[in-house]
Amino acid sequence: MPQITPILDRRTLFLGAAGLVMTSALSGNSTASAAAQNAVARPTIPSGTGSAARGDFDFLTGEWTIKLRNFDGSGQERDASATVHRVLGGMGSIEELRKGDGSMWGMGVRVLHPNEGVWADHWTSAEDGVVNTPQLGTFVDGVGVFLGDDPNDGAPLTFRAVWDQITPTSCRWYQIMSRDGGATWDYGWYMDWTRLA
């Protein structure tokens, strides 16, 4: 399997990973078959009406170590870490995400829009400082679901980001993408967060 290039932002990570997953699936080799047998079950994303409230992202406040893993069970991993701050009395959350070597990866800024009843999740890469169009979302049965559209080389892409498996000491974040308006979804990498003591 080819080496993964350095990650510049969360969307770049999943675009690259989806290509690797497709390459493995199409190659038909025993490594891909073994990976498929050990694959992490693709989670079911809750549907229905969610809610957005002050403090929804308080679970993320603090210091974290992060393992990036592939849904295909290939065993590929990357290290990262994060510091997350609660701001505006729980109406905001600011995440400083670092690569495994400690260098800055980027910043996530989540802001509650109480009048619209949604959270806006913004991402800024340390590479270029550009603030991406936010993904908008709410929490449904304790799972944060965020949607956004972003063209890639002129082709429309729909992104769905999810915060789930939330406990006092751990959580998971992943993002899937669709090139056909949500009819099918590509699962690439996910991030397992573990709180530092």
Q: Is residue 75 classed as helix, strand or coil in its secondary structure? A: coil
State the average pLDDT for the chain. Answer: 82
pLDDT of residue 10: 55
19 — pLDDT class (breaks 50, 70, 90): very low
pLDDT of residue 47: 67
The better pLDDT of the pair 5, 172 is held by: 172
The better pLDDT of the pair 104, 26 is held by: 104
Give the pLDDT mean for 89-101.
Answer: 97
pLDDT of residue 73: 83
Kindly state the DSSP code that residue 47 receives in the 8-state scheme.
-
Give the pLDDT mean for 49-69.
Answer: 94
Question: Which amino acid, residue 197?
Answer: A
Count of alpha carbons within 13 angstroms of residue 124, beta-carbon side:
12
Give the pLDDT mean for 153-159.
Answer: 81
Rounded percentage of the chain residues whose pLDDT exceeds 90:
57
Give the pLDDT mean for 113-132.
Answer: 93
Classify residue 39 by burial, with Cβ atoms within 10 Å: 0-12, 13-18, 19+.
Answer: middle
Give the pLDDT mean for 71-93.
Answer: 94
Contacts of 45 by beta carbon, 8 Å cutoff, 6+ apart: 143, 145, 160, 162
